[in-house]
Amino acid sequence: QKEVEQDPGPLSVPEGAIVSLNCTYSNSAFQYFMWYRQYSRKGPELLMYTYSSGNKEDGRFTAQVDKSSKYISLFIRDSQPSDSATYLCAMSGTGNTPLVFGKGTRLSVIA
């Protein structure tokens, strides 16, 4: 089993839709959870950062972490064409363990 599983998509939605992106993981030591957005030919950009379980909201974006199920989600409300990008989940634990990334989900929001 891979440490982090993420459906690569591609996912195509109409403008204004609610988008749900998800990752599952197997390592119960993970405590820090991140979502990155990567536009074509650019570096990943940190979108959301969450510690342990719970929800975090920032504008149209909501990140959820359910440590009991080892499942994290990113919701995008009122999606816009400018949200079209690849979204990567990432997580880390303690010690020298660096971030572990999912494969990324490619999202297209159609006007």
Partner 1 sequence: ETGVTQTPRHLVMGMTNKKSLKCEQHLGHNAMYWYKQSAKKPLELMFVYSLEERVENNSVPSRFSPECPNSSHLFLHLHTLQPEDSALYLCASSRKKGGSNTEAFFGQGTRLTVV
The HSE-up count of residue 76 (CA atoms within 13 Å, CB side) is 25
CB of 100 to partner 1, least distance (A): 8
What is the spatial distance between Cα 106 and Cα 100, in angstroms, rounded to a whole number?
Answer: 18
CB of 91 to partner 1, least distance (A): 10
**Amino acid, single-letter form, for residue 17:** A
CB of 32 to partner 1, least distance (A): 6
Contacts of 43 (CB under 8 A, 6+ apart): none
Residues that bind partner 1 (CB under 8 A): 31-32, 34, 36, 41-46, 49, 88, 90, 92-99, 101-104
Q: Which residue has the tokens 């990324």?
A: 104
* 104 vs 109, beta carbon nearer partner 1: 104
* 61 vs 101, beta carbon nearer partner 1: 101
